[in-house]
Structure 1
Amino acid sequence: MSVVATLAWVDATEPNEEEVNDAASSLAVVPEAFDDPRSVSLTLDRTQSEPIRASAAGIITSFDCTTGGSWTSGTAPLAIDGTPRLLLYTEVPLWRDLFGGERGADVDALQRSLSSLGFATDTTGVFDFATREALSDLYASVGVERLGQLNRELVMWAPSPEIGIASCTAGLGLTVPQGAPVLERPPILTVVRLSSVPEGLVPGGRIVQFGTVTAPVTDDGQILDPTVLDKIRSDPAVTATAASAEPIPLGATYRLAEPIEVVAVPPSSLTNIAGSAACITSGGESFTVEILASLLGSTLVRPTGADLPEEVDVPGNAQVPCG
């Protein structure tokens, strides 16, 4: 939360007339932190996801699909003609059958996927004996006959370890051709951005606070960090609108990442105002300040020269030269 200076009038016990005048024209100010909070609207940009497709033609004999649910890499949520079909995430799509000795980026990706699922294999880039054994163990874990080769008809490629389900486009007992969509995935959150960047911001790096998520923002108002996007994607306010392919505006707070020190003074204490520049006076001296904002009848300022005094004149003494 942002806080502003606490204001307190100087008090005196049994003052004489001169002291009354001095007390009435002096105001104590206390420096406080200020992070220039602004209410903003965030727009969530999404792109339509590719569906998950049947790896073989035939009759669907098992189909574990529920709208709003998910499929996980390393499982077999679908069977065609009585044979379970393995869902497998790899960084590179599995574009060919592998029998033994093949090399390439797809083999690297397969080895990393097997290792992440707990089936020990080294990333050698070669479809070697150890990789064939690990793949056979994975097949067996989902009810597929042990087979020391990659048969693309047995494997549905997944672009991420977990696949959200926006809708089920196939069904038990249906006949499907190879490559037919069996489920639609929710749109992918690609970037979160400020619908518009507020004007008159205090210079400095900024963050956005949305729900439980706090994120750094680029100068043009975008959140690009994949880790942060994952957190935003799981926020209840976002998941409630996950099926929408249109930009979704959501409320957030846009604030300085590092609060600055300010004081709150009455507007009448300012002299020689020129844009955001002004002066305050105290005890016959002037102090240059930058006007930052107005809040609850006070003006928030910070020094641009010497440190500010503990008390300011109210009203400011315009006879004292500014600066």
Structure 2
Amino acid sequence: MTEPSGEAEEENARSPEPQAPRRRRRRIAWGAGVTVVVLGLSGTVAYATATSDTDEGLAATPDTAEVVRTTLVSTEQVDGALDYEPVGTVPSASAEGTVTWLPSSGDVVRRGETLYRADNRPRPLLYGKTPFFRELSAGSRGPDVAVLEANLVELGYTGFTEDNHYTWATAQAVRRWQKDLGVQQTGRVAPQDAFVSTGAVRVGEITADLGSPTGGDIMELTRTTRTVSVDLEVRRRHLVDEDAEVEVELPDGRTLEAEVSELGSVVEVPDGGDSLDDATVRLVITVIDEEELGDYEIAPVRVLLETGRAEDVLAVPVESLVALREGGHGVQRVTEAGATEYVAVETGVFADDLVEVSGGSLAEGEKVGVPG
């Protein structure tokens, strides 16, 4: 046999092995089959198109992750505002007089304590749902009498039957109360003698000045606890129910447990809005442990609304999902020996870079392939 020439040997050395082009082409096909798909709340996910379970080009052992059993909770983030919820204003009790004492903004006023003084006469806070709208005296009957008598009892002034009937005994208790307030002991109560609220209040903005004449609003009042308000788009209204559990993220990154305490039913279109797409309803959210808010009184926050929950399910990393040629999604199962196969799965809730999977005979603790 004639030995090959040196030029022939050099040409043969440059020639590839018979199978090399095939492997090279398959690697290119694998790379070209990668598709980027956006799946709702899950983010951007890379899906690879599998050609077959036995294709040599796909059988190389990939990096792996474990199939875990867990609870997945998916959330959607909305903007909120931490503040004290306003409850109303305190109007002056008299058109004539001079403001002689005011509290400080931020003060909390409770039953029996003074909101302000006009002509050095205190106007205390009482609790109830019916404000005083007339002068009360012996013989008066009604829900405002019931409010007065309930407050007298809570403040320690007794000696009468607590009902809605203003008797001589009620008048005697009123005189004792008036004596302790340092005002004239008439035994009668006029609307300007007290301010009725449903509970303790916090002083917000003070709108009157010391020495100014009475006749207008004195101050604004808020609730004593801080809440988070959210103007939620109507199209997201289905995401929450009253008493639903949510999370509030503070400016410093801390996340606190909270719940929806009020779910508005009034639909509003904000200034500048021109369609129902801009319409909102108002949510009021209460932080479970208010002390965790620390020094924050007014601040922008983020609210995480739960949009889906799957308990005690199998989950894999989102990036392990592939799109199968026959349709649907799958994962690449990797055995302890390094063998691989593609298994079709059904997907569920996406959360925390994981996705719920079912079907495909997957089991907890098995390995699935992930991009390297």
TM bin (shorter chain): 0.5 to 0.7
Name the residue aligned to 2:155.
117
SS at match of 1:292: strand
Q: Structure 1 stretches of 5 or more lacking a match?
A: 1-20, 242-248, 316-323
Matched residue, 1:239: 297
Percent identity among equivalent residues?
15
Q: Report the equivalent of 1:54.
A: 92
Q: What stretches of structure 2 of length at least 5 have no aligned partner?
A: 1-58, 251-255, 265-279, 336-340
Partner of 1:184: 220
Q: Does structure 2 retain, via aligned residues, the 8 Å contact 1:271–1:278?
A: yes
- CA RMSD of superposed structures (Å): 4.8
**SS of 2:98's equivalent?**
strand
Counterpart position of 1:141: 180
TM-score relative to the length of structure 2: 0.56
Counterpart selection for 2:350 from 293, 304, 311 = 293
Q: CA deviation at 1:169?
A: 0.8
Of residues 252, 255, 263, the one that matches 2:315 is: 263
Q: Which residue of 2 aligns with 1:193?
A: 230
After superposition, give the CA deviation of every residue in 1:111-166 in whole Å (9 maximum; x if it has no partner): 33333434446541212344334333332332223332213343344464324131
**Residue 63 of structure 1: how far off its partner (Å):** 0.7
Of stretches 66-75 and 41-50 in structure 1, the one that deviates more from structure 2 is 41-50
Letter in 2 for 1:65: P
The answer to whether structure 1 residue 155 and structure 2 residue 194 are counterparts is yes
Alpha-carbon distance, 1:312 to partner = 5.0
Aligned pair in 2 of structure 1 residues 258, 138: CA closer, same or farther (>3 Å)?
farther
User: For the residues of structure 1 that align with 2:177 and 2:308, how far apart are their CA atoms?
Assistant: 47
Residues 290 and 304 of structure 1 are in contact (CA less than 8 Å); yes or no, is this contact kept in structure 2? Answer: no
Structure 2 residue matching 1:126: 3-state secondary structure: coil
User: How far is 1:215 from its partner?
Assistant: 0.8
CA distances 1:274-308 after superposition (whole Å, capped 9, x unpaired): 99x63447588956321433766xx5223269774
Following superposition of structure 1 onto structure 2, how do residues 163-182 of structure 1 map, counting pairs within 5 Å? 163-172=202-211, 174-177=212-215, 180-182=216-218
Number of residue pairs aligned between Structure 1 and Structure 2 = 279
Q: CA 1:175/1:154 → structure 2, altered by over 3 Å: closer, same or farther? A: same
In the alignment, the residues of structure 2 paired with residue 304 and residue 197 of structure 1 have an alpha-carbon distance, to the nearest angstrom, of 36
The residue that corresponds to 2:122 in the other structure is 84
Q: 1:290 to 1:251 in 2, by over 3 A?
A: same
TM-score by structure 1 length? 0.63
**In 1, Cα distance between equivalents of 2:306 and 2:140:** 54
CA distance 1:206–1:49, change in 2 (3 Å): closer
d(CA) in 2 for partners of 1:46 and 1:68? 10
Aligned partner of residue 166 in structure 1, secondary structure? strand
1:128 equivalenced with 2:167 (yes/no): yes
